[in-house]
Structure 1
Amino acid sequence: MKKITVSAAVILRTNPQTHKHEILATQRGYGDFKGGWEFPGGKIESDETPEECIVREIREELATVVKAEKTLGVVEYDYPAFHLTMHCILCSVVSGDLTLLEHEDAKWVTLETLYSLNWLPADRLILDRLLSIL
């Protein structure tokens, strides 16, 4: 089975009006999983760490600079055509406006509304961990 290793950004902010934690979810605009919700990110290059990858990928996908704060965990998931290893990294925005360059849509979700989206299966596996640490 083909193996793919990626980094995913769990971008966290505190809403200035509600003072609640919010997490950025992005909707895929292409491929077999078009329309599904995920944490933004992408494939780790052979010469980079998961943290370096997520900084590069968010710059490429969302025209935004993030800081990789800490690793939340690594998800292993078997999709029908490949095995995914996903490094989930908590990030904060340093600069930029989160411009959608590859995704169909994006939204900030609270911990209470986290499960209301149709998350891709691998991304869904990190949601419980988010609730336990935030």
Structure 2
Amino acid sequence: MEERKHIDVVAGAILRDGKVFGACRSYGAYAGTWEFAGGKVESGETDAAALVREMQEELGVMVTVEELLGTVDHDYPEYHMNMRLYLCRLAAGEPQLRVHSEGRWLGRADLYSVPWFAADMDLIRRIEPRLR
């Protein structure tokens, strides 16, 4: 039996003024699905370093990585993913859509108005109490 590919991912819940930044994936089989920006942790990289790098690459922003909000293991058809979601604050810049088709600041009232990745949905309840 072939072993399923395993990936380690970090994602950032960027909070500002009681809202969290969500982004819509623009590519691949999951295009049109919303997520928290982030990506794979490279060999030898800390979670914080990976998240700072990914936020710069994907959104063109510098972030301060604060606390770990939660961890989720999720099985997709193609791979098994371990994702760690961190609370982040903008240190410099405004989010730019470099790899996403849409981005939005979401408050408590519209948090569920977009189709989130299943793995992200598992962690949204950790963010919701911090939103207005």
Please tell me the TM-score bracket, short chain as reference: over 0.9
- Give the corresponding residue for 1:10: 13
* Residue aligned with 2:30, SS: coil
Runs of 5+ consecutive residues of structure 2 not aligned to the other structure: none
Residue-pair matches, total: 128
Q: TM-score, normalised by structure 2?
A: 0.93
Q: 2:56 maps to what in 1? A: 59
Question: 1:4-27: CA deviations, max 9, x gaps?
Answer: 11100100000xxxxxx1000000
CA distance in 2, matches of 1:133, 1:37: 19
Give me the whole-angstrom Cα distance separating, in 2, the residues matched to 1:133 and 1:105: 23
What's the RMSD between the two structures over aligned residues? 1.0
- The 1-side partners of 2:72 and 2:130 are apart by 16
Query: Corresponding residue for 1:102?
Result: 99
- Runs of 4+ displaced beyond 2 Å: 131-134
Q: CA deviation at 1:131?
A: 2.2
Q: Work out the CA distance in 1 between the residues paired with 2:123 and 2:117.
A: 11
Letter in 2 for 1:77: H
